[in-house]
Amino acid sequence: MKKVFRLENLDCANCAQKMENGIKKLEGVQDCTVSFMSQKMTLTADDGSFDEIVKKAVKLCRKIEPDCVIVLK
């Protein structure tokens, strides 16, 4: 499953990079890109555990850049 999320208050390009690398390492994630320019995260991950993975990704982002919020639609 592939889904695009909007990111709010993503102010630092290096952090975007770190988030991307971190999320890619999560189990069940096939691919992830965090675009600093378009303020969007594209996540491709296993269908079954997708919600679980999104939760982990949100937690990871909060750890790296506490100001940045992943908008869950």
Partner 1 sequence: MTGKQKKTLIRIIVSAVLLAAARLFPFEGWKSLAVYAAPYAVIGWDVLWRAVRNIIHGQVFDENFLMALATVGALATGEYPEAVAVMLFYQIGELFQSCAVGKSRKSIASLMDIRPDYANIEKDGQLVQTDPEEIAVGDIIIVKPGEKIPLDGIVTEGKSTADTSALTGESVPKTIYEGSDVISGCINQSGLIKVRVTKPFGESTVAKILDLVENASSKKARAENFISKFARVYTPVVVIAALLLAAVPPLITGGNWSEWIHRALIFLVISCPCALVISVPLSFFGGIGGASRSGILVKGGNYLEALAAAEIVVFDKTGTLTKGVFNVTAVHSDDISESRLIELAAYAESYSVHPIAKSITEAYGKDIDRDRIASSQELSGKGVKAVIDGAEVCAGNGKLMDEIGVSWRPCHHTGTTVHVAVDGEYAGHLVISDEIKETSAQAVADLKAKGISKTVMLTGDSKETGEDTAGKLGIDQVCTQLLPAGKVEEVEKLLKEKSAKGRLVFVGDGINDAPVLSRADIGIAMGAMGSDAAIEAADVVLMDDDPRKIAKAIDISRKTLRIVRQNIVFALGVKLAVLLLGALGMANMWEAVFADVGVSVIAIINAMRAMKLSK
Q: How far apart are CA 57 and CA 64, in angstroms?
A: 11
Could you give the angle at the alpha carbon of 21 between the alpha carbons of 15 and 26, nearest 5°?
Answer: 125
Strand partners, 4: 42
The reply on whether position 12 binds partner 1 by CB under 8 A is yes
The reply on whether position 6 binds partner 1 by CB under 8 A is no
The reply on whether position 33 binds partner 1 by CB under 8 A is yes
Site for partner 1 in 38-57 (CB under 8 A): 38-40, 42
Reduce the DSSP state of residue 61 to 3 states and report it: helix
Binding site for partner 1 (CB under 8 A): 4, 11-14, 16-18, 20-21, 33, 35-40, 42, 63-64, 66
